[in-house]
Structure 1
């Protein structure tokens, strides 16, 4: 089985408020961004987060991407850059070296096919990723809640297994998590972690029994545990 996704980035100003997103379907997508970055970093980050989010899926991956820079960087140019110590032909550092190094690591052992699609050409998945990346960039521009999405949800399940964003190091944008009720007048931060499948299944089951999102259920457990210390 192959996971088929689209990945895209957006920047309002380039550099400026920026977003990234990958999209499998309406129930399986993830987005994020920064207050200031570039379109190319958004494009790279979308692919990196997709790779990290699906790392344990055990499936091949096909990625639709409208950035020839990203596709060429990952499939053609990277071996030469690595041989030169991540330097370009002029001796200067390769741009976005930090993300490219992480992508190089994330690609190892994966069967990944990239297919270029023309942007804004009515390719349904590419348009969906673009809409979400732009929405994230706009949220940063307006200092509003970032629509981050459910993350990677394997087919036939309701459990998100999206990995923490590589640039965020376990902490994502400081905004209410999609699908949860924010604490009144209080900033919230998305924190991701991995737990054994049987524990995640139990969390989902208990949350569903209460009619709330699993993230809200887990946040309540953590909050009560801290209060009782």
Structure 2
């Protein structure tokens, strides 16, 4: 049996009050955040807290996530970053190292698969996680305590099987796929799945990284995302904006209810 969950993050201002949430069903979810952080930090924290919450089960975990940065960091770039002492190709430090190291430890020895879903596109689990992450960010903005949720309440029997009805299953994968080193990427119109085993996430060998079938995106100063890197590291794309350009981008993001980087990505 597979446990299917969504993980999502939110930031008001980016950086600003941020929130994170993971969601399986109404009886199994959690949320939190901080007074100051980025959207990417919220996304990573949601995955980390989900992995920690479900650590007591042996079931496969399918994580629906609308952040390509998170998926690529965990399934593709982390082995290279670890080889280089958590340094990028230019010698600079990897952003959000503490969260990535936590995920690297929490995922070890587990069967975990990531499924990219388009945000704000009606995916039920993603929408539920997004709603809770946004609520947590708004709570911190108002200097209030967010709703934390019940946590992971699915009971397991002695054999480790989940004693609950199966959550919403992932949509059927398209037949075309790319495979490298035992990891798998499948693409459909608005969904991608990437499987990462503990060995793939932890081993330093380049063969343990996932090969994804579409252009991928990386973090750049927590505002802009860069093009997919040819090796283990993302290429950072920096674009200077005038005050007027930044204001127009902010207005566009607010009108769409998305972060600045998501609004910019939609223009590409």
What TM-score do you get using the length of structure 1 for normalisation?
Answer: 0.67
Displacement of 1:144: 1.6
Which structure 2 segments of 5+ residues have no match?
156-162, 165-268
Q: What is the deviation of 1:145?
A: 2.6
Partner residue, 2:118: 118
Question: How is 1:44-193 mapped onto 2 (pairs within 5 angstroms)?
Answer: 44-154=44-154, 156=163
Q: Distance in 2 between matches of 1:101 and 1:63?
A: 18
Q: C-alpha deviations, 1:113-143, integer Å up to 9, x for none?
A: 0000000001111000000000000000001
Unaligned segments of structure 1, at least 5 residues:
158-229
- Who is 2:28 aligned against? 28
Alignment partner, residue 163 of structure 1: none
Which ranges of 4 or more aligned residues in structure 1 deviate by more than 6 Å?
Answer: none
Q: Is 1:19 equivalent to 2:19 in the alignment?
A: yes
The 2-side partners of 1:103 and 1:86 are apart by: 14
RMSD across aligned positions (CA):
1.0
SS of aligned partner of 1:7? strand
Give the whole-Å Cα distance in 1 for the aligned partners of 2:21 and 2:125: 11
Total equivalences in the alignment:
157
Q: 1: CA distance between counterparts of 2:5 and 2:38?
A: 22
**Relative to total residues, which structure has the larger helix share, 1 or 2?**
1
More strand as a share of residues: 2
Paired with 2:145 and 2:50, the residues of 1 have a C-alpha distance of 21
